[in-house]
Amino acid sequence: VLRACEGLVSAKVGLREAFRAKALQHANALKVGRTQLQDAVPMTVGQEFGAFAELIDEDIIQLQSASRLLLEINLGGSAIGTSINVPREFPSIVCRHLSQ
């Protein structure tokens, strides 16, 4: 899952940058903005692409945050996390075993 997230983040970074480039390219191209399927205020095509880039950026941040949580290992095996009933070296033994 971590490797898949890395690839997805990388792809989203590329997509974000493409939207940012399009935002610059179309910074002066006017269009009618729409809201609730009705014409609204004027905006530029560049603003629309910029908004897409911002949404992608938020996705990237959330993916990176979620990926960090995947690095945590809930070892279990100890009395409600107190380690009162496990040997002192239990966490390092389990991590070594999982790494293998």
Q: What is the pLDDT of residues 75-90, one digit of tens each?
A: 777 777 777 888 888 8
Q: Tell me: the pLDDT tens digits for 53-74?
A: 999 999 999 999 999 998 887 7
Q: Are residues 44 and 58 in the same domain?
A: yes
**Do the beta carbons of residue 29 and residue 45 sit within 8 Å?**
yes
- Under DSSP, the state recorded for 29 is -
Q: What residue type is 73 in one-letter code? A: I
Report if pTM > 0.95: no
From CA 23, how far away is CA 71, in angstroms rounded? 36
- Under DSSP, the state recorded for 23 is H
Identify the domain containing residue 94 by its residue range: 75-100
Q: Are residues 59 and 89 in the same domain?
A: no
The answer on pLDDT for 10 being more than 90 is yes
- Show the tokens assigned to 25: 């390219």
Q: Are residues 44 and 84 in the same domain?
A: no
Specify the number of domains making up the chain: 2
Residue 8: predicted pLDDT: 96
From CA 64, how far away is CA 2, in angstroms rounded? 10
Residue 26: predicted pLDDT: 98
Q: Are residues 42 and 60 in the same domain?
A: yes
Q: What residue type is 24 in one-letter code? A: L
